[in-house]
Amino acid sequence: LYPTPIPGIPHNTAAARSCLGDIPDLAREIASTPDLDFQGWCVKQTEKLKSPLCQVFLSPFSKPLLLLADFDEARDLALRRTEDFDRGAFVSDSFGAFGDFHARFDTGRQFKANRRWLQDLMTPSFLNGFVAPSTYALVLRLVELWRNKTRLAGDRPFSASADLDRINFDIMVRLFFGEHFGSSALDSQIGLLSIEQSPDTGLHGEAVFPEAAFHQIFHALHDAGRTVTQIMTSLWPKLTLRWIPWTAGYRRIQSAKKRLVREQLPKAIERVRSGEKSAGIDYILSREQAAAEQEGRKPDFDNEMIINEFFGIAYAGMDTTEANISWALKFMTKDSNVQEKLRQALHSAYPLAVQENRLPTVAEFLRTTSVPYLDALLEETLRLHPVLSARDATRDTEILGHRVPKGSTVLLLPNGPSFLSPPFPIDASQRSATTRVVKPSPKWSETDMRSFNPERWLVCNPQGDIAFDATAGPQSAFGHGVRACWGRREAYIRMKIALTLLVWSFDFLEVPESLSSMSALPVFVHKPKEIFIRLRPRL
Shortest distance, CB of residue 209 to ligand HEM, whole angstroms?
27
Answer left, alpha or beta for residue 8, where phi above 0 means left and psi between -120 and 50 means alpha: left
Q: What's the rounded Cα separation, in Å, for the pair 381 and 165? A: 19
Q: Which of 15, 42, 58, 78 binds ligand HEM (CB under 6 A)?
A: 78
Coil, strand, or helix at residue 520? Answer: strand
Shortest distance, CB of residue 280 to ligand HEM, whole angstroms?
10
Q: What's the rounded Cα separation, in Å, for the pair 45 and 11? A: 8
Q: Which of 311, 331, 350, 478 binds ligand HEM (CB under 6 A)?
A: 478
Partners of 38 in the β-ladder: none
Q: Are 332 and 503 in contact (CB under 8 A)?
A: yes
Q: Is 19 annotated as a binding residue?
A: no
Shortest distance, CB of residue 122 to ligand HEM, whole angstroms?
8
Q: Is residue 77 involved in binding ligand HEM (CB under 6 A)?
A: no
Q: Which of 389, 397, 409, 505 binds ligand HEM (CB under 6 A)?
A: 389
Q: Which of 345, 490, 520, 523 binds ligand HEM (CB under 6 A)?
A: 490
Shortest distance, CB of residue 483 to ligand HEM, whole angstroms?
4
Q: Is residue 6 involved in binding ligand HEM (CB under 6 A)?
A: no
Segment interacting with ligand HEM, rule: CB under 6 A, options 154-162, 286-294, 449-457, 473-481 = 473-481
Residue 105 vs 373, nearer CB to ligand HEM: 105
Q: What's the rounded Cα separation, in Å, for the pair 240 and 89? A: 13
Residue 393 vs 511, nearer CB to ligand HEM: 393
Shortest distance, CB of residue 75 to ligand HEM, whole angstroms?
10
Q: Which of 485, 499, 501, 502 binds ligand HEM (CB under 6 A)?
A: 485
Q: What's the rounded Cα separation, in Å, for the pair 432 and 414? A: 19
Q: What's the rounded Cα separation, in Å, for the pair 180 and 276? A: 13
Residue 207 vs 228, nearer CB to ligand HEM: 228
Contacts within 8 Å (CB) and 24+ apart, 188-195: 188/212, 188/213, 189/145, 189/162, 189/163, 190/141, 190/144, 190/145, 190/148, 193/145, 193/148, 193/149, 193/152, 194/148
Q: What is the pattern of x (binds ligand HEM, CB under 6 A) and - over residues 292-331?
A: ---------------------x--xx--xx--x-------
Half-sphere exposure of 301 (CA within 13 A, CB side): 21
Segment interacting with ligand HEM, rule: CB under 6 A, options 276-284, 342-350, 447-455, 486-494 = 486-494
Residue 353 vs 384, nearer CB to ligand HEM: 384
**Closest by Cα among 465, 496, 178 to 360:** 496
Shortest distance, CB of residue 492 to ligand HEM, whole angstroms?
8
**Beta strands in 345-401, from DSSP E residues, in sequence order:** 389-393, 397-399
Q: What's the rounded Cα separation, in Å, for the pair 389 and 103? A: 12
Shortest distance, CB of residue 493 to ligand HEM, whole angstroms?
9
Identity at 443, one-letter amino acid code: K
Shortest distance, CB of residue 115 to ligand HEM, whole angstroms?
8
Shortest distance, CB of residue 20 to ligand HEM, whole angstroms?
28
Q: Are 347 and 359 in contact (CB under 8 A)?
A: no
Q: Is residue 491 involved in binding ligand HEM (CB under 6 A)?
A: yes
Residue 118 vs 256, nearer CB to ligand HEM: 118
Q: What's the rounded Cα separation, in Å, for the pair 129 and 121? A: 11
Residue 57 vs 117, nearer CB to ligand HEM: 117
Q: Provide φ and ψ at 493, rounded to 5°.
A: -60, -45
Shortest distance, CB of residue 56 to ligand HEM, whole angstroms?
19
Partners of 411 in the β-ladder: 67, 390
Q: What is the pattern of x (binds ligand HEM, CB under 6 A) and - over residues 268-297?
A: ------------------------------
**Closest by Cα among 230, 215, 222 to 249:** 222
Interaction with ligand HEM in 102-141: which residues (CB under 6 A)? 103
- Tell me the site size for ligand HEM, rule CB under 6 A: 22
Q: Please count the other Cβ atoms lying within 10 Å of the Cβ belonging to residue 42.
A: 22
Residue 116 vs 347, nearer CB to ligand HEM: 116
Annotate 261-326 with DSSP letters as a single string.
HHHTHHHHHHHHHTT---SHHHHHHHHHHHHHHHHTS---TT-HHHHHHHHHHHHHHHHHHHHHHH
**Closest by Cα among 419, 404, 477 to 449:** 419
Segment interacting with ligand HEM, rule: CB under 6 A, options 1-9, 46-54, 288-296, 476-484 = 476-484
Segment interacting with ligand HEM, rule: CB under 6 A, options 18-26, 34-42, 249-257, 474-482 = 474-482
Shortest distance, CB of residue 48 to ligand HEM, whole angstroms?
25
Q: What's the rounded Cα separation, in Å, for the pair 373 and 341? A: 7
Interaction with ligand HEM in 169-188: which residues (CB under 6 A)? none
Interaction with ligand HEM in 217-236: which residues (CB under 6 A)? none
E strand or H helix at 214? none
Residue list for the binding site for heme: 485
Binding interface with ligand HEM (CB under 6 A): 78, 103, 313, 316-317, 320-321, 324, 382, 387, 389, 477-480, 483-487, 490-491
Residue list for the binding site: 485
